[in-house]
Structure 1
Amino acid sequence: MPFLKIIFLCFVSLITDSTVALANEELLPPEQAFKISAKALSSDQLEISWDIAEGYYLYRNKMEFKSKTKQIHAVTPVFPAGDTKHDENFGDVVIYHNNLRIPVSLEAANEASSIQLLVQYQGCADRGVCYPPQKKTVDIPLPVATPVTSANPLEQ
């Protein structure tokens, strides 16, 4: 009988340890795994940034940037070099870990005081679980462009 108690206690301990291990491996919500921020560097240049949690990554080919502001008709990102990963479903893809900063150029038809930028992205956890594509609209105030004046008083 004591032998059965020992086996039972070992079994309960094994189940408890497995449950605790699974709880410790819980996935972060996408807002915590991929913290996005944006700022204007000038009236025609933005910087979109992500703080990517440890153990997570973003796909380059799943990123899109679109202006929802009528005065701004072109948005051009410049992607930095990333890491190449072989994905069984998508082949070789470029991914980003840790911190990511993407400069984005704007082409405006008229002066705009702000931009609503639709940012689409998708990421995964290193353990093989991927999130559905994420869409965030960020409102970014733009600095007013100041006219260039000549420093030469004869030209004024």
Structure 2
Amino acid sequence: MKKRFALYAAVALSLGAILPALAQQSPAPGAQKGLGSLFASPKPDELIEPDLAFKLKVAVKGPNALQAELLPAPGYYLYKDKIRFALKDANGVAISAIKLPPGEMKVDQIFGKTEVYRKAVPVELTLNRSGKTSKITLTASYQGCHEKLGVCYPPIEKTINLTLPQ
């Protein structure tokens, strides 16, 4: 945990020193393209943006069912026990069950023996509806790491507005 915190702190300090200097200078031709691809490199030994490292898709599958899919990029994994779903502003709609597939066991230097996902994770969410509300807001949170570099991303939280059929 201390190693990861130190890494986050070092990155934050580096960016804190670099960004103000960049803001005061005019970018050289082509520099914006170089900066924009800082985290977007597809090379297996480099970090990518969290939204590219861990993609989330959600679909309504019926009046009482949602299907989510979490997809870690190649070389990344998600912690099973860090995946959570909740509803906001749901007025009479609640999640009654969340079904995750079994993961792979991994011995993590921070969390010890834990389940992870290295491939697409289909998630079935069953809803309990006691009212006529059709508009809901789903919140998904998850956390994962880069396998080879051992760098873990902070927890990610996504909010998705959905309309349920009656």
Same fold (TM over 0.5): yes
Q: What is the identity, as a one-letter code, of the residue corresponding to 2:151?
A: V
RMSD between superposed Cα atoms in Å: 1.5
Q: Secondary structure at the match of 2:105?
A: strand
Aligned to 1:134: 156
Give the fraction of aligned pairs with identical amino acids, expressed as a percent.
34
User: Runs of at least 4 residues of structure 1 off by over 2 A?
Assistant: 23-26, 73-76
Query: Is 1:57–1:96's contact at 8 Å kept on the other side of the alignment?
Result: yes
1:75: Cα distance to partner?
Answer: 4.4
Aligned to 2:87: 67
* Deviations 1:119-141 (CA, angstroms, capped at 9, x unpaired): 11001110211000011011122
The aligned runs of 1:104-143 (5 Å cut-off) are: 104-127=125-148, 128-143=150-165
Query: Is 2:100–2:121's contact at 8 Å kept on the other side of the alignment?
Result: no
Aligned equivalents of 2:146, 2:116: Cα separation in 1: 12
* Deviations 1:34-55 (CA, angstroms, capped at 9, x unpaired): 1101011111111111222100
Q: TM-score, normalised by structure 2?
A: 0.69
Query: Is 1:66–1:75's contact at 8 Å kept on the other side of the alignment?
Result: no
Query: Is 1:67–1:117's contact at 8 Å kept on the other side of the alignment?
Result: yes
Q: What is the identity, as a one-letter code, of the residue corresponding to 1:38?
A: V
1:71: Cα distance to partner?
Answer: 2.1
Aligned equivalents of 1:70, 1:118: Cα separation in 2: 15
Q: What is the identity, as a one-letter code, of the residue corresponding to 1:57?
A: Y
Q: Which runs of 5+ in 2 are unaligned?
A: 1-40
Q: TM-score, normalised by structure 1?
A: 0.73
Larger Rg: 1
